[in-house]
């Protein structure tokens, strides 16, 4: 009843970082990493602020601190969205069709 499964090794799969050949591609990859970190931090701060608000239990000072945390998280989100917009504009200005796209070879399954 147990079947043997074998994996096929493909020599076509390469490291996507090694396929970066232009400044636009490098810019796109770096900005994607930075934006991913920014979005992750925004979500963490939103969750933290929400938990802090729930745990305030009507305490005026704790509620104000929680609201400040949530406000800062929303401002951070707006900054990240603005950075994405600037990335798109700069990518177009330096001549990248899609600066986030790095050409990679994907295996056929």
Q: What is the pLDDT of residues 50-99, one digit of tens each?
A: 999 999 988 899 999 999 999 999 999 999 989 888 878 877 777 665 54
Look at residue 106 and tell me if it is in a domain: no
Look at residue 1 and tell me if it is in a domain: no
Look at residue 87 and tell me if it is in a domain: yes
Q: How far is CA 25 from the centre of its chain?
A: 16
Look at residue 80 and tell me if it is in a domain: yes
Contact between 82 and 95 under an 8 Å Cβ cutoff? The reply is no
User: Can you give the residue range of the structural domain that contains 77?
Assistant: 22-93
- Number of domain units in the chain: 1
Distance between CA atoms of 21 and 102, rounded to whole angstroms? 9
For the chain, percent of residues with pLDDT exceeding 70: 73
More confident residue, 33 or 8: 33
- pTM of the shown model: 0.63
Distance between CA atoms of 51 and 14, rounded to whole angstroms? 43
Look at residue 11 and tell me if it is in a domain: no
Pick the closest to residue 80 from 28, 39, 31 (CA basis).
39
Look at residue 56 and tell me if it is in a domain: yes
Look at residue 3 and tell me if it is in a domain: no
Contact between 35 and 82 under an 8 Å Cβ cutoff? The reply is no
Sorting pLDDT into bands at 50, 70 and 90, what band is 2?
Answer: confident
Look at residue 44 and tell me if it is in a domain: yes
Instruction: Supply the pLDDT for residue 63.
Output: 92
């Amino acid at each position: 009843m147990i079947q043997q499964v074998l994996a096929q090794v493909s020599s076509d799969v390469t490291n996507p970082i090694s396929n970066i050949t232009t400044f636009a591609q490098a810019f796109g990859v770096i900005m994607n990493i930075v934006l991913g970190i920014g979005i992750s931090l925004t979500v963490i701060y939103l969750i933290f602020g929400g938990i802090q608000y729930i745990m305030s239990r009507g305490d005026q000072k704790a509620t104000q601190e929680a609201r400040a945390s949530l406000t800062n998280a929303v401002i951070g989100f707006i900054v990240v969205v603005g950075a994405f917009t600037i990335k798109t504009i700069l990518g177009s200005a330096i001549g990248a069709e899609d600066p986030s796209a790095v050409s990679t070879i994907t295996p056929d399954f």
